[in-house]
Amino acid sequence: MPGVLNRQSPLVPDADVLFTAHRDGVFRYLCRIVGYEDARELTQEVFLRVTRAAAPESPGSDPGGRRAWVFRIARNLALNHVRDDRRRAVAGELPDDAATPATQALAAALREALEQLSPVDRDVFLMREAGGLSYEEISFACQLTADAVRSRLHRAREQLRAALGPGLDARSNPSWR
């Protein structure tokens, strides 16, 4: 049937396992970069590409290599999507601050703070915090060393703290230390 995602592709026999294991993490990561509606579509595209591509061989029983490979595909699709949106230059109006609930205002402030990060720092931060990837997996997905990942993650956290100001108490989220 055309247009149906066949997760039992002969190229990636465990595509169904990859889809089930990483769908939620990929979706959370993409939501932070492109928004909820576009993330749904891009998550489907990620796993469509997973079924059509030959997965890298994982040495031994290292499932992290495949997870990092899936996130590299997600990252590349997100970068393409953001680049294409900037070319279209869609204009929109911001809502009045008095009319928005605090959670929406916080989400908008976080989105704006994330946009101020460099693309690589933002990806490293989101892969760690939204995707739950290890330093080694992020280093594979972003083509960096593990030390560079640690450095970029530290820098991203510091910049987010500064951008969000005193309203963000570091004690409320110990993983940001």
- Total number of domains in the chain: 1
Report whether pLDDT(124) > 70.
yes
* CA–CA distance, 33 with 169 (Å, rounded to integer): 24
Q: Please check whether residue 148 lies inside any domain of the structure.
A: yes
Mean pLDDT score across all residues of the chain: 77
- Within 4-53, where are the H helices? 15-34, 36-52
pLDDT value of position 56: 65
Number of Cβ within a 10 Å radius of residue 40:
14
pLDDT value of position 97: 47
Q: Please check whether residue 60 lies inside any domain of the structure.
A: yes
Q: Please check whether residue 5 lies inside any domain of the structure.
A: no
Amino acid at position 96, single letter = D
- Confidence band (pLDDT; 50, 70, 90) for 177? very low
pLDDT value of position 101: 54
**What domain range includes position 131?**
15-89+99-170
Q: Please check whether residue 122 lies inside any domain of the structure.
A: yes
pLDDT value of position 55: 64
Q: What percent of the chain has pLDDT over 70?
A: 71
* Of 99, 117, 131, the residue nearest 164 (C-alpha): 117
pLDDT value of position 6: 44
Q: Please check whether residue 4 lies inside any domain of the structure.
A: no
Q: Please check whether residue 177 lies inside any domain of the structure.
A: no
pLDDT, tens digit, 9 for 90 and up, residues 14-41? 777 878 888 898 999 898 888 888 899 9
* Of 79, 86, 85, the residue nearest 143 (C-alpha): 79
pLDDT value of position 146: 93
What CATH number should be reported for the domain holding residue 58? 1.20.140.160
Q: Please check whether residue 143 lies inside any domain of the structure.
A: yes
Report the predicted TM-score, pTM, of the whole model to 2 decimal places: 0.61
pLDDT, tens digit, 9 for 90 and up, residues 59-104? 444 566 888 888 999 999 988 888 887 776 554 544 554 444 567 7
Q: Please check whether residue 94 lies inside any domain of the structure.
A: no
Q: Mean per-residue pLDDT for 102-123?
A: 85
Q: Mean per-residue pLDDT for 98-116?
A: 75
